[in-house]
Structure 1
Amino acid sequence: MTTTDTTSAHDRTDSGTSIYDHGDIYEAIYMSRGKDYAAESALVTSLVRERLPEADSLLDVGCGAGSHLQCFAGHFGHAEGLDLSADMVRKNEERGTGIRVTRGDMRDFALGRRFDAVVSMFNVVAYSAGTDELDATLACFARHLNPGGVIVIEPWWLPEDFLDGYVATDSFQWKGRSYARISHTVRDGDSSHMEVHYLVASAEEGVTHFSDVHRARLFQRADYENAIRRAGCAVEYVRAEHAPRGLFIGTAPRAA
């Protein structure tokens, strides 16, 4: 769902858009916030190798603009990504790294190949509408694992940790543009409802404004754990310095 504020006649306003349609803006926001993609990727890599020391292939589901994926490519002999957004797929292609990124839905993709690790960062799986979709997503991940393979997912906030009414504000400059982002997040039943407004300005393009809305499910810890178990994997939950919401880990059985 997207919303657009058309109150300013001076600003150019994009209608029916989403941050996921603007890979360059998405990347700028989180790089400016100091998000440590390298440290997060190193943490996930260590968790995978603790459970499968020989792991050398990885699929990053919901890879976005590819910042984690590029780091994973430095840790694994083969790394590739999957994302629902055509713009994010294009953004990865423009990097010219040669890393394969396929457009697909996390609930029902079929790549025809398996990996030692399937990971999903930045609460992508919380966009599942309910436990049925979460089950479908984790089952799809498990189908793409080699024997003994490892799933790592970064959840959205657990209900007991969620801050209702949270407001976040960022403003910064990045590669010749000025940016502002402001968000307001509230609880709506079993989900969070986040409204985000963006302003982007440059001397050549003037000021652009767009807004979007993100609904993420506030799954219980047991929801994640049960979905991983139903996918046929042993499950763990860990907290670490570079994973403030924790990480869920699923390990597939090794071949007999």
Structure 2
Amino acid sequence: MAEIYELLHEARGKDYRTEAATVAGLVRARNAQAASLLDVACGTGAHLRHFADLFDKVEGLELSEAMLAMARTAVPAAVLHGGDMRDLALNRSYDVITCMFGSIAYLKDVAELTSTLRSFADHLTPGGVVAVDPWWFLETSLDHHVSGDTVTVGRRTMTRVSCTEREGNTSHMVVHYVVAEPGLGVEHFAERHALTLFTRAEYEEAFARAGLRVTYVGEIQSGRGLFLADRPR
């Protein structure tokens, strides 16, 4: 999955460069001097490599060793940390902390969300900004959702089919992949994701309890919107 992750999503239409530039612009509207950035749950470095062109110093945090290995290749100048966002303790501060592509939804409940955002706040410089790209809100999520795409990048053809079922405030998504390449044959594998469907109010209350002043920017990020929160000076 780490090997095809970025290729697949870009071929499906995800524009990491534009998303990074949009986030940077919104951040600098709040902190024009922002120079250092930590991307939490940075994955393969898909956003981070573009943030590296927009900020003087970038770092990443990622739980998956396979994803982290890809990120080291993608962003060789970045300092990358292996670890879980729930246990963030890097003993340094950043002007910007980002958490992109719905990764925040892997937190299981409001208590984890609040404590994680509090640790984000603890790692901010005065006037620093947190940018969180949320998963779908409970009130806007779809049940029984199926999607599928087939794309070809170079010699490799990839098919992704997903089925999502909502159970309470959790989105259970099963994703199947078929990858084919001349000379290598066909490979199939599957993933399961359990993503928490927080309400917008739960996000905003968690930011407030973490001591952050939050604003929600709608429509962007494929319609999920973006939370921007700053630490008072």
Same fold, judged at TM 0.5 (above): yes
Unmatched tracts of structure 2, length 5 or more: none
- Structure 2 residue aligned with 1:50, among 14, 19, 29? 29
Cα separation, 2, equivalents of 1:226 and 1:161: 18
- Which AA in structure 2 matches 1:34? G
Cα separation, 2, equivalents of 1:143 and 1:201: 45
- Structure 1 residue aligned with 2:44, among 48, 60, 65? 65
In structure 1, the partner of 2:142 is 163
For residues 15-30 of structure 1, the aligned pairs below 5 Å read: 22-30=1-9
In structure 1, the partner of 2:152 is 173
- Structure 1 residue aligned with 2:58, among 71, 79, 97? 79
The TM-score, its normalising length taken from structure 1, stands at 0.88
CA contact (8 A) 1:183 1:196 kept: yes
Cα separation, 2, equivalents of 1:237 and 1:95: 30
- Which AA in structure 1 matches 2:139? E
- Which AA in structure 1 matches 2:77? G
In structure 2, the partner of 1:19 is none
Deviations 1:27-79 (A, max 9, x none): 12101112111111111111111111111111110111111101111111111
SS at match of 1:59: strand
In structure 2, the partner of 1:142 is 121
CA contact (8 A) 2:34 2:95 kept: yes
Cα separation, 1, equivalents of 2:126 and 2:99: 19
Cα separation, 2, equivalents of 1:104 and 1:72: 20
Cα separation, 1, equivalents of 2:100 and 2:139: 21
CA contact (8 A) 1:39 1:242 kept: no
* CA 183–243 in structure 1, closer or farther in 2 if over 3 Å, else same: closer
In structure 2, the partner of 1:112 is 91
Q: Which structure carries more relative contact order (alpha carbon 8 Å, separation 6+)?
A: 1
CA offset at residue 240 of structure 1? Answer: 4.1
RMSD of aligned C-alpha atoms?
1.2
CA offset at residue 241 of structure 1? Answer: 4.0
Runs of 4+ more than 3 Å apart:
240-243
SS at match of 1:192: strand
Q: Which has the larger radius of gyration?
A: 1
CA offset at residue 203 of structure 1? Answer: 2.1
- Which AA in structure 1 matches 2:96? A
In structure 1, the partner of 2:73 is 94
CA contact (8 A) 2:121 2:211 kept: yes
Cα separation, 2, equivalents of 1:189 and 1:209: 30
In structure 2, the partner of 1:15 is none
More off after superposition, 241-250 vs 217-226: 241-250
- Structure 2 residue aligned with 1:204, among 179, 183, 186? 183
Deviations 1:94-139 (A, max 9, x none): 2363222211100112112110010101011111011111112111
CA contact (8 A) 1:154 1:245 kept: yes
Cα separation, 1, equivalents of 2:222 and 2:34: 21
Unmatched tracts of structure 1, length 5 or more: 1-21
CA offset at residue 242 of structure 1? Answer: 4.3
**Identical-residue share of aligned pairs (%):** 45
Are 2:12 and 1:39 equivalent residues in the alignment?
A: no
SS at match of 2:55: coil
Are 2:128 and 1:128 equivalent residues in the alignment?
A: no
Deviations 1:117-174 (A, max 9, x none): 1010101111101111111211111111000100010111112211111111111111
In structure 1, the partner of 2:204 is 225
The TM-score, its normalising length taken from structure 2, stands at 0.96
In structure 1, the partner of 2:165 is 186
Cα separation, 1, equivalents of 2:129 and 2:147: 34
CA offset at residue 243 of structure 1? Answer: 4.9
CA contact (8 A) 2:36 2:55 kept: yes
SS at match of 2:4: helix
